Structure 1
């Protein structure tokens, strides 16, 4: 039977999809999934995504607690979701509990019914695609968006995955075709193309342009974070 690739452009649309035979790739390029991929690559024992700040705060002192809302670190937490907080010096052999505005919400929504949940970013693009090619399940690329609305950078990454997988005889839905078309427009200069995104503008106002540049690096890590129980660990 032919496998399918679908792109869900926002978590608000997720109830329209049947995930029971799908590997869901959660995408939050600026910055949660980029930071998660970087942290797992740098030896974090596990990253536990939680939906709320309160849930994050309730974890014990043996964990690093990371909370971000509206691009800023929440007061009283060790750090937020800047990839520069997920270096080996900070996270190796540690468990990080993480809550973010968009990314952890998307993970929380998809884990309820998905066959498997993995984490994608430009940092591990090839690793994600090579893994999916070996699997028999359908693929759902879930864009975390911004507060349940569409965003451009997550859709571009979804398009990059479609671009690599479409030759493998998948059936593509319309949003996959649209995402790939956008990626083809942007692929030669991702930084310039994403400079016009609203999220990029939001982060620039916070003075964190370096985070944006970092999150657009392609294939700098090989780890794939996978959700096992409530923890993201290395596949």
Structure 2
């Protein structure tokens, strides 16, 4: 049976998609989903995505609290969404409550109706693609974007997934074709291509170029974070 693969270029469009039979891959390359993948790989027990800073602040004791807005750690929180805050030394065995400008919004929007929500990044690209091939479900690649607007880096990752899956009897929508074309332009030097992005400029202005480089590492983790109830945990 033919399956569909679709790229939703921003959470503002997610209501246009039927997610009831779809695995939704949430993508926020700079930096939320990269950090989530790294944290789960490094032994975090769970990461709980929440919508607001207040909800994160009031979640309760016994959790690490992480909040980011406009690329910066919100004052008074343990950390934000830099991947370097999600090392094994900091997160192994811990539950983290996380709110970010874009990524957690995309997660919360997709979970309302999706068959399943998983988290994708360049760090776990092959693991995500292998899982999707085996699952035999429709796929929606949800780009978190920037404040409900299109962004380039999330679309590039969506294109990387499309490139691996398109030979597996999927029907591609036009945004999938466009995303793959962008990825094929960029794939030989992701760092240079994503240097064009507005969000990389924001992060450079904050002096965190190392985060950008880290988030462009390909296949350095094997874990797939999956949403179970309100918690992201390791699949499998």
TM-score, scaled to structure 1: 1.00
Instruction: Summarize the alignment of residues 65-76 of structure 1 with structure 2, pairs less than 5 Å apart.
Output: 65-76=65-76
Q: CA deviation at 1:137?
A: 1.1
Q: Post-superposition shift, 1:60? A: 1.5
Q: Which residue of 1 aligns with 2:208?
A: 208
1:98 and 2:104 equivalent?
Answer: no
Whole-Å separation in 1 of the counterparts to 2:105 and 2:4? 24
Counterpart position of 2:154: 154
Normalising by structure 2, report the TM-score.
Answer: 0.99
Q: Give the Cα separation in 1 of the matches to 2:6 and 2:53.
A: 31
Matches of 2:172 and 2:102, distance apart in 1: 25
Offset, 1:61? 2.1
* Structure 2 unaligned spans of 5+: none
d(CA) in 1 for partners of 2:222, 2:164: 16
4+ aligned runs moved over 6 Å, structure 1: none
Map of 2:17 onto structure 1: 17
Alignment root-mean-square deviation, CA: 0.4
CA positional deviation for 1:136? 1.9
User: Partners in 2 of 1:116 and 1:122 — Cα distance?
Assistant: 20
> 2 CA distance for matches of 1:51 and 1:4?
29
User: For 2:200 and 2:173, how far apart are their aligned partners in 1?
Assistant: 28
Q: Secondary structure at the match of 2:19?
A: coil
Consecutive unaligned residues of structure 1, counting only runs of 5 or more, are none
